Structure 1
Amino acid sequence: MTKHSHDADVAFIQALAELLRENDLTELQVTREYGEDDKLDVRVARQTQVITTVAAAPVAAAPAAAAAPAAAAEAATNDDPAQHPGAVTSPMVGTAYLQPEPGAKSFVQVGDKVSEGQTVLIIEAMKTMNQIPSPRGGTVKRILIEDGTPVEFGAPLMIIE
């Protein structure tokens, strides 16, 4: 099967798990190659539990009753930006930057109109700067991250409506 030490693999996996915990990551995948036709593929992941609560205001009159479901739906999208229909989410794990370089003007600001495909930020992953385009045209309503923030796959970055 393999020609390397089982104890070394266990220590390697334990080190990956510690790295996962120390950096507050949810998943890490690594391939360790020992030579031709001899490698170890490791995926270390942990489950996170997200609890979302929505509290509806008491209904005082019949006309308000019709507005209550819409208000509750709006509150839910405000509580969890990832569920907002205009959310722009991270396509990768990395560090998000709102500017092309330190001291430069931001790609976009709240209130800016953007077109589909326009670069709205960059994410650095493995020393590579990846331009993140707007998935739709619209107006930037919220920016949910700060410059230099570490992001995970699927994390909401901004809201464009």
Structure 2
Amino acid sequence: MAPIPFEPGAIRMLAKLMNETGLTEIELAEKDRRIRVVRGSAQAPMQQVIVPNAVPHAAVAAPATIPAVDPGAVLSPMVGVAYLTPEPNAPTFIDVGARVDAGQTLLLIEAMKTFNPITAPKAGTVTKILIESGDSVDQGQPLVVIG
């Protein structure tokens, strides 16, 4: 089988899409051609830290606690770019203090050129909007708080 020639433009396009969406791996397949781009994470070299025995236990800082997620937080189901409006120059879907119904669209997340509506899981009042329109978001990231 002859090697499949690759197109540098296609690889650049996939790498750009990965940067825009926060993906770490993407694959494009067409007939007998396949391009797979994987972003590796460079790990920082390990450092050894020696703590002298003379340091009293009380002087050692306690590890940082992980902040609890607000029980009314709506989390991002995917990696993508969040938009608070249906299109540029349109009014936002929601504002702080707005009353929302279960199933109402709160915002959109664009992932791989598809706009995915993020809806309210319950009725309530929007108490916080934790992102700006155009922000990149990660899966599990709090977006909005409904009280």
TM band (smaller chain): 0.5 to 0.7
Shift of 1:153: 2.7
Cα pair 1:26 1:46 within 8 Å, conserved: no
> Structure 2 counterpart of 1:25, which letter?
G
When residues 46 and 153 of structure 1 are mapped into structure 2, their CA distance, relative to the original with a 3 A threshold, is: farther
Q: Could you tell me which residue of structure 1 aligns to residue 27 of structure 2?
A: 30
TM-score, structure 1 as length reference? 0.58
Q: CA RMSD in A?
A: 3.7
Cα pair 2:22 2:80 within 8 Å, conserved: no
When residues 24 and 46 of structure 1 are mapped into structure 2, their CA distance, relative to the original with a 3 A threshold, is: farther
CA deviation digits over 1:40-71, x for unaligned, max 9? Answer: 4736255699xx823xxxxxxxxxxxxxxxxx
> What is the aligned residue count?
128
Q: Could you tell me which residue of structure 2 aligns to residue 4 of structure 1?
A: 3
Q: Could you tell me which residue of structure 2 aligns to residue 60 of structure 1?
A: none
Shift of 1:157: 1.1
TM-score, structure 2 as length reference? 0.63
Alignment counterpart, residue 70 of structure 2, candidates 84, 95, 101: 84
Q: Partners of 1:129 and 1:99 in 2: how far apart?
A: 11
Cα pair 2:22 2:79 within 8 Å, conserved: no
Q: Partners of 1:87 and 1:19 in 2: how far apart?
A: 30
Q: Which moved more, 1:19-28 or 1:100-109?
A: 19-28
Name stretches of at least 5 consecutive residues in structure 1 with no aligned partner. Answer: 55-74, 78-82
When residues 3 and 92 of structure 1 are mapped into structure 2, their CA distance, relative to the original with a 3 A threshold, is: farther
Q: Could you tell me which residue of structure 1 aligns to residue 56 of structure 2?
A: none
Alignment counterpart, residue 102 of structure 1, candidates 88, 92, 98: 88
Q: Does residue 131 of structure 1 match 2:107?
A: no
**SS of match in other structure, 2:67:** helix
When residues 96 and 39 of structure 1 are mapped into structure 2, their CA distance, relative to the original with a 3 A threshold, is: same
Larger relative contact order (C-alpha < 8 A, sep ≥ 6)? 2
Name stretches of at least 5 consecutive residues in structure 2 with no aligned partner. Answer: 44-62
